[in-house]
Structure 1
């Protein structure tokens, strides 16, 4: 299962890289869009492989929970990750693009809250998938590891929320 998650992550970044090459080097925007769209296919395949693995009788494990986290994060942060990769590609390979601006003050607080909202969306997607998975396998298998993943992720989300909100309450100085 972990191998599938690693393969999905590698495939995600390869598809992004090829999409950027298609966009900037080959000047093929439609091909670029198609390649970026493949990230959704990668997520769908990971969901399918996870379901097949569980249906085959594999006991639910933390790695199944990590797959749900990966999918939630990929969906919630996908556009942001592609934008980040796009900026880096322009800066590193094309020697263009804007200089990285370090956010401070209320701008940093707004950015942190936007990222927190994405984290909440990722959490809702991931825990939704974990809940559906627990229902899917029912009483056939012990699903406590899936709920353990949800608890740990909930703690991580709470810490992220405290840190993100602190940037609003105590804005950094310029």
Structure 2
């Protein structure tokens, strides 16, 4: 534990990523608590708007750190990937949490589980992969911008030689074992299965 804390202290970008993750969930939960249990939709909306601002802070800090002459490390790559994943999946996470708070505190309909069978399962897999595709695009654009506009290719070699190819490989594996396999051999629906899911 001591070594982990020391590593975080030596890598301010890594510490900022952890802080941003905490900030994201804090503003999300605080916004939903204000919206539903406290019945203050305006306050809730203001708090929820703060969730993307957390990402802006992380991006600005990453840019300044590299412009100061620092060499890109895994925390810088993680910052770009984190931003992409947050923007790609963040809205779905917020909607997922909002549906549950709405059901629990405002009498909303119960949230449906993701589909497991048939065409709804296929559509769900493609939609989730589409979110990853958006996350990949955002992360790659950010890393490319850090390489060509913020720092130099020599200082950011880890980003374009390792980080981008690794994320691309993850996306390729997701595509093969997710939407492609599901489309070719969709799971058979159970009798009476009629639920749909909007994720």
> Normalising by the residue count of structure 1, what TM-score does the alignment of the two structures yield?
0.91
RMSD: 1.8
Where structure 1 has 5 or more consecutive residues not aligned to the other structure, the ranges are none
Match of 2:120 among 101, 107, 117: 107
Q: Distance in 1 between matches of 2:106 and 2:187?
A: 32
More helix by percentage: 1
Partner of 2:175: 161
Displacement of 1:16 in angstroms is: 0.3
Partner of 1:81: 93
Match of 1:132 among 133, 137, 145: 145
Partner of 2:64: 52
Deviations 1:29-75 (A, max 9, x none): 22222111111110100000111111222210111111011111111
Displacement of 1:118 in angstroms is: 1.1
Match of 1:152 among 128, 147, 166: 166
Where structure 2 has 5 or more consecutive residues not aligned to the other structure, the ranges are 1-12, 190-199
Say which one has the larger Rg.
Answer: 2
> Normalising by the residue count of structure 2, what TM-score does the alignment of the two structures yield?
0.80
Displacement of 1:93 in angstroms is: 6.5
- Counterpart of 1:98 in 2: which secondary structure? coil
- Counterpart of 1:138 in 2: which secondary structure? coil
Partner of 1:117: 130
Q: Distance in 2 between matches of 1:2 and 1:97?
A: 39
Q: Distance in 1 between matches of 2:184 and 2:107?
A: 37
Partner of 1:28: 40
Count of matched residue positions in the alignment of Structure 1 and Structure 2: 173
